[in-house]
């Protein structure tokens, strides 16, 4: 059974029979036909073995890649026929990304790194620093606004990355192994921060290999051989059984 949640009317993001294959002999089915809905303020974990298709699904959900078939509807807008430039604009305005490797510019301060993320939203230069500093304050880094990445701990770097991702107030935040490079204390601090983002109206999807990280989410998806399903946490063996729909 495909993974679903809620109804299309309430969905922030909907995949309808979306699939992704890559050329080969035979072709590689990285994502098999999937019907998936993410609602506003949803907190969703995505687990699966390496090669199961998690990155492919995340790229399609984040409008970084297009499905080979099926459709992706974001906030009521069907992206299938949209030109790439319009899709990029939709992504810049409404979707934030957090990665395991932080991806901070080493020669820029924490404030500059966050402010640079606002360029794609065409925020006036005069407002970027103010928004960046305010967002760093929200993630507990008001005392590190002038620090360079090399002066920050791993947990602080990830908080800067999260600040950059949410400074433009996205509706959806996609996190790919955000605690993978952190020690236990830093990971807990970052996860506490992600837990609180729904208070700002942000839906969160977190890709993780760690069941303890996944347990913090309200809803759990598992991928296996390109198939995504809702599942009960801990049921991660061969052939995860579908859970009741939300």
Ranges of each domain in the chain: 8-230
Any bridge partners for residue 125, and if so which?
Answer: none
* Residue 79 DSSP code: -
Cα separation, 235 vs 229, in Å, equals 11
Residue 223 near residue 209, CB atoms below 8 Å: no
Residue 4 near residue 36, CB atoms below 8 Å: yes
Residue 171 has pLDDT above 60, yes or no: yes
Buried-state track 78-97, b at ≥16 Cβ within 10 A, e below 16: ebeebeeeebebbbbebbbb
Place 100 in a pLDDT band, splitting at 50, 70 and 90: confident
* Residue 198 DSSP code: G
Name residues whose C-beta falls within 8 Å of residue 71's C-beta, 6 or more positions apart in sequence.
14, 15, 16, 17, 18, 78, 79, 80
Residue 97's SS3 state is strand
Cα separation, 235 vs 228, in Å, equals 13
pLDDT in tens, 178-189: 988 888 999 999
**What CATH homologous superfamily does 8-230 map to?**
P-loop containing nucleotide triphosphate hydrolases (3.40.50.300)
Rounded to two decimals, the pTM is: 0.87
Place 123 in a pLDDT band, splitting at 50, 70 and 90: confident
Cα separation, 70 vs 153, in Å, equals 42
pLDDT in tens, 21-77: 998 888 889 999 999 999 999 999 999 998 899 999 999 999 999 999 999 999 889
**Which H or E run contains 43?**
strand 43-48
């Amino acid at each position: 059974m495909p993974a679903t949640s809620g109804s299309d009317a309430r969905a922030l993001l909907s995949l309808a029979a979306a699939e992704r294959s890559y050329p080969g002999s035979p072709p590689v089915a990285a994502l098999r036909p999937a019907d998936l809905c993410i609602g506003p303020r949803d907190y969703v974990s995505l687990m699966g073995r390496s090669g199961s298709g998690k990155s492919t699904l995340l790229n399609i959900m984040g409008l970084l890649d297009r499905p080979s078939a099926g459709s992706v509807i974001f906030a009521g807008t069907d992206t299938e026929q949209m030109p790439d430039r319009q899709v990029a604009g939709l992504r810049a305005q409404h979707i934030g990304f957090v990665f395991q490797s932080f991806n901070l510019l080493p020669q820029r301060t924490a404030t500059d790194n966050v402010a640079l993320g606002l360029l794609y939203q065409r925020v006036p230069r005069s407002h970027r620093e103010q928004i960046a500093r305010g967002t760093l304050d929200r993630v507990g880094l008001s005392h590190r606004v002038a620090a360079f990445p090399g002066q920050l701990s791993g947990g602080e770097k990830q908080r800067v990355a999260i600040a950059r991702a949410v400074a433009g107030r996205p509706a959806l935040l996609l996190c790919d192994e955000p605690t993978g490079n952190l020690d236990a204390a830093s990971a807990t601090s970052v996860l506490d921060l992600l837990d609180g983002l729904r208070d700002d109206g942000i839906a969160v999807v977190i890709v993780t290999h760690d069941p303890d990280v996944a347990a913090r989410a309200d809803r759990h998806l598992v991928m296996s051989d390109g198939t995504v399903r809702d599942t009960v946490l801990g049921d991660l063996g061969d052939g995860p059984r579908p859970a009741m729909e939300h």
